[in-house]
Each structure stands twice: as C-alpha cells, then as structure tokens.
Amino acid sequence: MRKNLLWAVVVVATALLQTTWLDAIRLQGVLPDLTLLLVLYFAMFHGEERAMFTGLLGGLYQDVAGNALLGHHILCHALIGFWVARLARRLITEHPAVKAGIVLMASVVHGTLYTGIQYVQTPDMSALQTIFSTVMPGAFYTALVTPLVFFVLSRALRFDEEAFQGGQTP
Amino acid sequence: MALSRRISEHRPVIVLLVIVALSLVSMAGGKRAGFIGEGVRIAVSATSYPFLKAMKSIQGAAGYVTGLVFSYNACRKEAETARRKLADAMQYAVQRNELLQENHRLRQMIDFARTEQRFALEAAEVIESFKGATVTIDCGSLRGIAESMCAVTENGVVGIVTRVGPFSATVVTLRNAECRIGAMIARNRVRGIVQGSGSDISPYCSMNYIDMKDDVQPGDRVVASPESLFPTGYPIGRVVAVHETGSLWKSADVEPAVNPYRLDEIFIVRETAPSADELAGPTPAEPITATLPDDRPLQERLAP
C-alpha cells in the first residue's frame, strides 16, 4: 500500500511538474518529457506493468491538463512503457549512456507515435515538420536530463526499492 | 485453473491490450472531456493551482532579484531618461502658462486699443525695469516715440517718456520721484500734483498741493487733470490717506492704479484727440474799447 501511494504521489507530482513548472526550462520551445522519463524509469527498473500503469496515470493527467483527446498520451505512454520494459530485460549493461540512448530512442518513437495519432485526427497538420522541429529536439533534451532524473528518482524511491523490485503491480 | 494461470502469465499483455483498447475507444469517441475528464480536470486544476501560483511568485521574485543585479544600468538610464522628460515637461508647462498669461494680457490690450478711440496708441514691451521706478521699452524714435509722451496701460497711468533712443525709450513711473503729473479728484475736481515717492519701500505716491479747504477723502479716485500731458480723466490711482500738514496745503497718499513692478507691456500715447473745450475754441473775449483822450476845450465840455 505504501509503495503504491508513493508511486502515485511521484507520478502525479511529476505530471504536475510537467504541466506547470517545467515551462521555466523551456529552450527554443522544447521541453523534456518528465512523465515519459518516469514511464521509462519504471519500465527499465520495475517491469512493464508498473510502467504501463505509470503511463496510464501520467498520461491521463497530461491529457486532462493539456485538453488533449482522452487516451492520446495514455496510449503512447503505455505502448512505450511496455516496449522498453521488454527491451530492458535483454540489457546486459547498466551504463548510464546506454540508458540515455534508450531514452532517446524511446522518446523519438513516442513522439513519432504521438504525432502519427495526431495526424490521423487532423490530417491537415504537417507531421514531418512537427517530428523534426519538436519531437527530435525534445527527445534529445529528454535524453540529456535522463541521468539527473534517474538519479533523483532512484534516491526518492530508495526506501521502497526492494518492494518495487520484482515487477509487482500496484 | 489453466485459464487463470494463462492470464497470470500474460497479465502485462492483457493490461496493455485493455489500456490500448480503452484509449482507442476514448479517442474514437472524439471527446476531449467527458464526465470523467471534466472531474479529473477540476481535480487537476485544483491541485495545480498552488503550484502555478507558487511558480508565478517565484518567477516574479527571481525576476525582481535578477533585475536588480542585471538591469541596474538599464534602470538607471531609464530613470535618467524619465527625469529628463519630466524636466522637459515641466519646462513646457511653465512656458505654456507664461504664454497663456501673455495671451490674456495681449487680448486685454487689444480690447483696450479697440475701445479707446481717443488716443493713438503704440504698444511696447518692457525689456528692462529698474526697481519699478524706471522701465525701458522696446520702441524708440524710429517708431515715433518722443519725449514727454504718456505711458499708460488699460488700467491707468504708468509714467512719462523721458529719454528716447532709436530703438528704445525710458519711462519714469509713479515710483520715481522725478515723475510729476497734474491730477484731480474725480469726485469734486479738486486739483493737485501727483508725485512719485522715490521709495523702494512705499508702494504709494503722493498727491501734493491740495488746498487745505478742499474736500479729499480716502477712497477718492484720482485722475489726470486737463492741465496734464495725459488724457483728461485717465485713472491714476486711489486716495488711501490724507495728511493735514498744518500749512496752506495738504497732501494725500495715492495707491497707483498700475503696479510698475508687474509691467510686461504698455502703451505709449502718441496722439490725443482734442477735447470738447479745445474743439470749441476759446470763449470770445469782451470787445476792446479804447478810450481816447477827450481833446475838446474845457468850455465846450462843460457847456450845458
């Protein structure tokens, strides 16, 4: 119960940060995706179920806060969380650069997926331009802050690290 | 049993499929906010409000502090610019007030020149004033000004032109002891001579040579007499005090109608229309009858 509560607090707080204070570090209109980072963190260290539920909660928050279609962020986060969790099982290294590389790749895939869904909804948008002008720099920015965010998350969740281990579901 | 085991084995995939399915259904519905979304949105707004407020406050404080450090020069320049603009604006306001007052005075002068048909007037600007006793005006002989011409304003007598140059002239005012004007009390035409006090302290001039039997009261209007250079009846001032000297004459303190200290523009009377007495000419004298000496003999003069 305690770990679930802590998990929920962390997810909601991260989503809050993403939708409010993160504007302060916006560079050239590009923001790091903290919620996605959280999903990837749980995907890499706690399994796909935790990652998907993180994506569900965080994505729900982002959809509501950003007035997007309900399910848009959720779908992307859940898919990416599942995929990265499956991928992370095969990793044989803990090197931070590798994790940052995975985050970069996952961010690009996530952004492309998000833009693709958006393109289906509004075909008159320029999907390629959005990918190159927003998704790619955003993915790079997200990958850049990965070590810091992962370090903070590991510190914040260290008391329940053992409980989180093993892919236990909320 | 086997089904539950299979479900347990593939739970992540099932969860994924459920989430994906729900998301797709929700997106296919095309609603941005259903009843769930609305409730969640309210909760999100409520929870994010303190964060947003805190962020605004922190941003404001940070901006203020960094502004103190980094924008010091800009602020100083801005303050200097503002100060300069304020000084310009104040100067402009003073100039505007001055122009308004000048406009008002000139309008009064124009009205006076239009209504006063008895005189040919020459407007002049005071360019220098020495203690109010002597003023220099900006027109001289080239504009027809001559010595002994009268200087007036629409309120009354100013003084007399004493020195004339080509471009300027000097007027002695009723503050100057050398200025003497034939005057009379408007109420009963009692004559006297108004003379400047010559004092820097007293604002009054004196009316001298008033017969001790004549009636002069404080408050009487003093005007130019027919014997003076000034147009008859033109206001000089008002009696404020009468002094009995114990001799054959008495004197009175007169407050001039025009304060020479406050002169900016004056009129010089170049020509005065003749009065009715002058137009009528002198009264015919008695015919002169010369009495010739009687040269008849005494007998003839005395004969019956």
For A37-90, the pLDDT digits (tens) are 889 888 888 888 888 999 988 888 888 777 778 888 889 999 999 988 888 888
- Most B CBs within 10 A among A20, A48, A53, hence the mutation to make, goes to A20
Element (H, E) at A57: helix A48-65
What are the start-end ranges of the H helices in chain B? 2-9, 11-29, 35-70, 72-115, 276-280, 298-302
Q: Do A75 and B20 touch (CB under 8 A)?
A: yes
Kindly identify which residue of chain A lies nearest to residue B13, measuring between CA atoms.
Answer: A82
Q: B12 vs A117: CB contact, 8 Å cut-off?
A: no
Hey, is B231 helix, strand or coil?
coil
Look at B278 and B166; give whichever has higher pLDDT: B166
pLDDT averaged over every residue in chain B: 83
Top-confidence residue, B224 or B2: B224
- What pLDDT does residue A152 have? 85
Identify the CA nearest to B221 among candidates B151, B154, B155, B299: B155
Is B19:A74 a contact under the CB 8 Å cutoff?
Answer: yes
CA atoms of A79 and A62, how far apart (whole Å): 16
One-letter amino acid at B200 equals: D
Could you tell me the two tokens for A136?
A: 């790619």
Question: Residue A161 has what pLDDT?
Answer: 56
Measured torsion, CA atoms of residues A92, A93, A98, A104, in degrees rounded to the nearest 10: 50
Note the pTM of the prediction, 2 decimals: 0.45
pLDDT exceeding 90 applies to what percent of chain A? 4
Which is nearest to A7 in space by CA: A44, A46, A65? A46
Rounded mean pLDDT of A140-146?
A: 86
List residues in chain B touching A: CB distance below 8 A. Answer: 11-12, 15-16, 19-20, 22-27, 30-34, 36-37, 40-41, 44, 47-48, 51-52, 55, 59
Q: pLDDT band at B169, cuts 50/70/90? A: very high
CA dihedral A163, A165, A166, A168 (to 10 degrees): 50
Classify B120-273 by CATH class: mainly beta
Residue B112 has pLDDT above 90, yes or no: no
Question: What is the tens place of the pLDDT at every residue in B22-33?
Answer: 888 888 877 664
Phi, psi for A141 (deg, rounded to 5): -65, -40
Mutate to test the interface with B, among A19, A63, A113 (most CBs of B within 10 A): A63
Tell me, yes or no, if A22 comes closer than 8 A to chain B by beta carbon: no
∠ CA A60-A64-A66, nearest 5°, is 115
Show the tokens assigned to A94: 């803990």
Q: Are B260 and B133 in contact (CB under 8 A)?
A: yes
Hey, which residues 40-69 in chain A have their CB within 8 Å of chain B? 47-49, 52-53, 55-56, 60-61, 63-65, 67-69
Whether the CB-CB separation of A18 and A33 falls below 8 Å is answered with yes
**Which 8-state DSSP code applies to residue B225?**
-
Residue B121 above 80 pLDDT? yes
A102, B140, B163, B181, B209 from B131: Cα distances, Å: 96, 21, 17, 20, 27
Whether residue B44 and residue A65 make contact (CB cut-off 8 A), yes or no, is: yes
DSSP one-letter string for B30-46:
T-S--HHHHHHHHHHHH
Between the CA atoms of B77, B78, B82 and B84, what dihedral angle is there, to the nearest 10 degrees?
A: 20
Segment B40-96, tens digit of pLDDT: 667 777 877 888 888 889 888 888 888 777 778 888 899 999 999 999 999 999 999
pLDDT higher than threshold 90 for residue A25: no
Q: Crossing angle of helices A34-46/A2-19, nearest 10°?
A: 150
pLDDT value at A168 more than 50: no
Q: What is the mean pLDDT of residues B177-196?
A: 90
* Short-list A84, A60, A62, A72, CA closest to A18: A62
- Which pLDDT value is given to residue B67? 79
Q: What is the ipTM of this complex?
A: 0.75
> What whole-number distance in Å separates Cα of residue B169 and Cα of residue B122?
12
* Residue range B266-283: mean pLDDT, rounded: 67
Residue B262, helix vs strand vs coil: helix
Residue B288: pLDDT over 70: no
Q: Which member of B12, B36, B48 has the closest CB to residue A65?
A: B48
Q: If you average pLDDT over residues A120-130, what whole number do you get?
A: 81
| Tokens, residue B185 | 């009390």
Q: Which two tokens stand for residue B184?
A: 């009379």
Give the pLDDT confidence score for residue B37 in this predicted structure.
Answer: 60
Residue A166 scores a pLDDT above 50: no
pLDDT (0 to 100) of residue B41? 67
Domain boundaries, chain B: 2-63, 120-273
Q: Report, as an integer, the average pLDDT of B175-182.
A: 88
pLDDT for B280 = 60
CA-to-CA distance for A153 and A131, rounded, in angstroms? 28
